[in-house]
Homo-oligomer: A and B are copies of this chain.
């Protein structure tokens, strides 16, 4: 099967929105093993939509169109396709009933144009829209498959997952579903991780091994096609174990969760808590952690000790450590360890975490941009710190420092990750 994507919408031609639908569908089709050689964007214009359709039909046998299924006269996709196929439009009664009910419930009059959202080319299979009004449709004419999807991604993506994917796989006789496992790492850079796994990444065909890097975390995605989850798990077991043998110390999850979630899960499972003192990360650790629902059971709070005044007054780091020609200074292992211990004690937590460093753009205390100390304190009295040096923008350094600090906490708390059994 050879696919072509046509996105309909003048707002795309004006650059008002990005065509994320093309990326989503391209990735989904690739995962189904369907080649797609072209993507086209066209405005809300019947002549040009029809031209795009004709060109697509000359070189593809699966044409997926997004957008132009709304109620207004600008929404032309289904009209153009039906006319082009020589079919009438017919009303999909369940969709019309849903639209009428929507307005009735709210006591609003329904504009007659809303009926358009319930129209389908005669003989097409309806694709329910669980997140919106306009019904989608799928139809095969002269061995060419046509799929019409709504433009808003939050309607289109679930419609694809729930209704289009099964419709397509029925038409792919050789189809085996794709299984993947995401291995998430922290405390190790992308290039170091790739270096450790370079022979696996290069030689391994099935499962495939693909590295990803995003937002200060790195990940490895294992992917294979199999008849069942059990077969997929069997195919992935050896490579998962080999990766764990080499870089298991940095593997914080074998599913796609952020590091802060792994920390909350680890401490929350034991009824433990932590508190943080953030200097150069400026609240980012707190922001990441409190983005996780339920974090209040684990995260006591933090002090964003952005100035020496706050480090000394709120967190009792002696001024003779922070200031003066022969002092260690605010960016030092001494300060990191005191901050971690004192915030733990002050907030009565099981762990204290601290970050102090130079996020840039300028240097500080004569210390270079990117120098960061991370401290971790535990209830039992242990305090440790590590020194890191990064390069990059202010926000990149803040993000790497925040993630590395969370990794040190996870590691100090004895975090371990099991093999994903699928």
Q: A29 to B41, alpha carbons, bound, how many Å?
A: 15
Q: Any chain B CB within 8 A of the CB of A167?
A: no
Q: Contacts A283-B302, A348-B309 hold; do A23 and B15 have CB atoms under 8 A apart?
A: yes
Scan A27-66; emit 1 where CB is below 8 A from any B CB, else 0: 1111000001111111101001000100100000000000
In the complex, whether A201 has a CB less than 8 A from a CB of chain B is no
How near does chain B come to A100, taking the closest CB pair, in angstroms? Answer: 26
Q: Mark A262-301, 1 if CB is under 8 A from B, else 0.
A: 0000000000000110100111111101110101100111
CB-CB under 8 A from A309, the residues of chain B are: 300-301, 347-348
Q: In the complex, are the beta carbons of B27 and A23 less than 8 A apart?
A: no
Cβ distance A221 to chain B, nearest Cβ, rounded Å: 12
Closest residue of chain B to A290, judged by CB? Answer: B282
A84 to chain B, nearest CB (A): 18
Q: How far is the CA of A44 from the CA of B186 in the complex (A)?
A: 35
Of B26, B299, B302, the residue contacting A13 (CB under 8 A) is B26
The one of B27, B43, B295, B299 that contacts A15, using a Cβ cutoff of 8 Å: B27
Given the known inter-chain contacts A40-B40, A286-B282, A290-B304, please indicate yes or no for A30 contacting B15, CB distance below 8 A. yes
Interface flag for A238 (CB, 8 Å): no
Contact residue among B42, B303, B359 (Cβ-Cβ distance under 8 Å from A314): B303
Closest to A359 in B: B290
Say if the beta carbon of A306 comes within 8 Å of chain B: yes
* In the complex, chain B residues whose CB is within 8 Å of the CB of A12: 22-23, 26, 39
Query: Taking the nearest CB of chain B, how far is it from the CB of A344, in angstroms?
Result: 12
Q: Is A16 part of the contact surface with B, judged by Cβ < 8 Å?
A: yes
Instruction: Considering the complex, give the chain B residue whose CB is closest to the CB of A30.
Output: B14
Contact flag A19-B22 (CB < 8 Å), given A40-B38, A301-B303, A304-B286: yes
A27 touches B39 (CB 8 A): no
Asked if A18 contacts B20 (CB within 8 A), the reply is yes
Q: Which residues of B sit under 8 angstroms from A97, Cβ to Cβ?
A: none
A281 surroundings in chain B (CB, below 8 A):
290
Is A24 in contact with chain B by the CB < 8 A criterion? Answer: yes
Q: How many copies are assembled?
A: 2
Q: Does A307 interact with chain B (Cβ within 8 Å)?
A: yes
Point out the residue from B13, B42, B291, B347 that lies within 8 Å of A310, measured CB to CB: B347
Residues in B with CB closer than 8 Å to A93 are none
Considering only CB atoms, which chain B residue lies closest to A306 in the complex?
B301
Which residues of chain B have C-beta atoms less than 8 A from A27's C-beta?
14-16
A131 within 8 A of partner (CB): no
**A305 on the interface (CB 8 Å rule)?**
yes
Answer whether A24 and B15 are a contact pair too, CB < 8 Å, given A282-B287, A289-B282, A314-B346: yes
Give bound CA distance, A307 to B346, whole Å.
13
Residue of B nearest to A287 (CB): B283
Closest Cβ of chain B to A351, distance in Å, is: 15
State whether the Cβ of A395 lies closer than 8 Å to any Cβ in chain B: yes
CB neighbours of A200 from chain B (8 A):
none
**A275, closest chain B residue (CB):** B310
In the complex, A276 Cα to B278 Cα: how many Å?
A: 14
Question: Given the complex, which residues of B lie within 8 Å of A307, measured CB to CB?
Answer: 296, 299-301, 347
Interface contact B282-A284, CB-CB below 8 Å: no
Q: Nearest residue in B to A286 (C-beta to C-beta)?
A: B283
- A42-B38, A290-B283, A300-B309 known; A347+B314 contact, CB < 8 A: yes
Given contacts A295-B306, A301-B309, A302-B306, 7 further A-B pairs with CB under 8 A are A13-B39, A15-B23, A15-B30, A281-B290, A282-B290, A307-B347, A310-B347
Nearest 6 Cβ contacts at the A-B interface: A282-B290, A283-B286, A15-B27, A15-B26, A283-B283, A301-B310
